[in-house]
Amino acid sequence: MNERRLGLGSVIATGVGLVVASSCLLSIGIGTSTIGITFIISMVVACALNIVTLLSIAELNALMPDLTGGLAQYSLACVGPFITIICMVGGYALCNTIAGSVEVAMFGNTIVSLLPGVHIPVWGYCVILVLLLMIANLNGVDVFIKIQDFVAYSLIASLIIMGVMGTLGFGTGEIVEQPAVLSSDFSGITGLCGLAFFLFIGGEYVVPLTKEVKNAKRDIPLGMILSMFIILAMQIFLTLGFKNYTSWDELGASTTPHILYGKMLLGPFGGYWMVIVSLLAVISSVNTVMSSLSYILMGMAKIGLLPSFFNKTNRKNAPYVGIIFEGAAFCIINITGLSTTDSLSFMISVLALLWMLSYVVSNLNVLILRKRLPNAPRNFKVPLGPVFPIIGILGTIWMIYNIDPDISVKLSLYKVCGIIILVLTVYAFFWMKYQVKRPLFKPYPVKEVMAMENELYEKYHRPKKNRKTI
């Protein structure tokens, strides 16, 4: 775009912004109430595997910098358009639409619980929030970053303060006498690694900001990794605080465990504080999804995986079609019933599974490009050769298998994801076969993928009859 003006602090704010969400606070409550503080082990394993994938993404970004669509463009150059559409449209466009919708639903549920006497439906609050964030994002990346920096750092400070207070027993509430560990067996801990994985996904959402970052070579990989460590520290403190101030049974039964914890820690004041934290988490995550995903959709349109109207920008250089599309999707999904709390935890697991598939492909991309372009310049390279990408692939597959300890729930999750993949397979086949008219499994040359970023590519390289529709 224009002058690069974002620093490391804004990169971290974006990385933390998507990951620390109300749905994550719900997931911590579920995991901790199931096995106790040994859930920290599950979180450490999940965080480590996510960092491995982020290192791979940092290498891909170093080899193919300044690409709007990020992971989609990397995959197009490695595994071809068919797999890219399935993993990236499913793992990103669809997955993050679900994620944003879940967050908006959590916002509505929180406000309704706070104001039970006000007769406004849950979806009404959801629509108000979405419209406000759409207006902000349509005003460009500057407004997005101003909101994100304030919200993300307020969120980080609040959760660390309340987590440390609970860990050290400094709350005004009564400390609960209960066992710290509910399960220490290997299968119990590993069975929740899939749930813990969701607590860290999304750090790569800083990649679409590369063009705006002053020192992208340093700040993109460093910002992603620091985001993960900050998030892990916050979650460990919260887990220990949960143990001291909330009974496991109440924690597991609550749909807003963080608000319950706030009340038990500091009384009514703590409850209101955690309501504010919850609202900050929703605003931060939805703001990040709406902004970054609109750029990712733009990048997918540039490489012909989505219709070209996602390429359109307004006078603020904001990809307004993607922003409006995401906002409309959030509203429709919530108006039609996602705001019911019964479906939230299941939806969280569905989108975690889809996201995991895109992470497997991202690690595979590094191995492919290492083989295909061993001497290409990279200003960042994952150490120890193929070791970390292979660990990332195997570890993510292992977490897919351990997405839920209940076999019936696990099979239901696989079934839903299988249906989604089948629909995407049909779309990918017909779109590439009859619209784009290129081989389904043949990777595009890296130089061509990078050239597609330029608006002149469509004018001079695509068939005339396709230029207006691709």
Concatenated DSSP letters of 98-141 = HHHHHHHHHHHHHHHHH-TTS---HHHHHHHHHHHHHHHHTT-H
pLDDT for res 232? 92
> In this structure, are residues 311 and 298 in contact, taking their beta carbons and an 8 Å threshold?
yes
Residue 377 phi, psi dihedral angles, 5° rounding: -65, 135
CA atoms of 377 and 418, how far apart (whole Å): 38
**Residues paired with residue 6 on neighbouring β-strands, in sequence order:** 213
pLDDT in tens, 49-58: 999 999 998 8
For the CA atoms of 440, 386, 202, 183, the dihedral, rounded to the nearest 10 degrees, stands at: 120
CA atoms of 296 and 57, how far apart (whole Å): 15
pLDDT for res 470? 39
Q: Is 452 helix (H, G, I), strand (E, B) or coil?
A: coil
pLDDT for res 70? 66
Instruction: Kindly report the pTM of this predicted structure.
Output: 0.80
CA atoms of 123 and 114, how far apart (whole Å): 15
Residue type, 420: I
Least confident of 141-155, 208-222, 284-298: 141-155
For domain 21-466, give the CATH superfamily: Amino acid/polyamine transporter I (1.20.1740.10)
Asked whether the CA dihedral 96, 100, 106, 109 is positive or negative, the reply is: negative
Cα separation values, 138 from 142, 217, 282, 332, Å: 10, 28, 19, 20
Cα separation values, 172 from 265, 271, 424, Å: 6, 12, 52
DSSP state of 66: S
Asked whether the CA dihedral 24, 29, 32, 34 is positive or negative, the reply is: negative
For the CA atoms of 118, 325, 348, 149, the dihedral, rounded to the nearest 10 degrees, stands at: -80
Q: Nearest CA to 304 among 439, 150, 403? A: 439
> In this structure, are residues 327 and 134 in contact, taking their beta carbons and an 8 Å threshold?
yes
Q: Which of 77-81, 157-161, 163-167 has the highest mean pLDDT?
A: 163-167
167 pLDDT more than 90: yes
Q: Nearest CA to 293 among 64, 137, 420? A: 137
For the CA atoms of 407, 415, 195, 277, the dihedral, rounded to the nearest 10 degrees, stands at: -130
39 pLDDT more than 50: yes
pLDDT for res 302? 79
> In this structure, are residues 34 and 192 in contact, taking their beta carbons and an 8 Å threshold?
yes
DSSP state of 310: G
1 pLDDT more than 60: no
pLDDT for res 233? 92
pLDDT in tens, 200-240: 877 777 776 777 778 777 888 888 889 899 889 999 999 99
Written as six digits, the tokens of 464 are 């005339």
Asked whether the CA dihedral 107, 110, 114, 115 is positive or negative, the reply is: positive
pLDDT in tens, 92-125: 677 778 778 877 887 887 788 777 778 888 888 8
pLDDT for res 465? 46
Q: Nearest CA to 319 among 342, 300, 333, 335? A: 300
Q: What is the mean pLDDT of the chain?
A: 82
Least confident of 5-19, 186-200, 286-300, 391-405: 5-19
**Residue 74: pLDDT band by 50, 70, 90 thresholds?**
confident
Express as a percent the part of the chain with pLDDT over 70. Answer: 89
40 pLDDT more than 90: yes
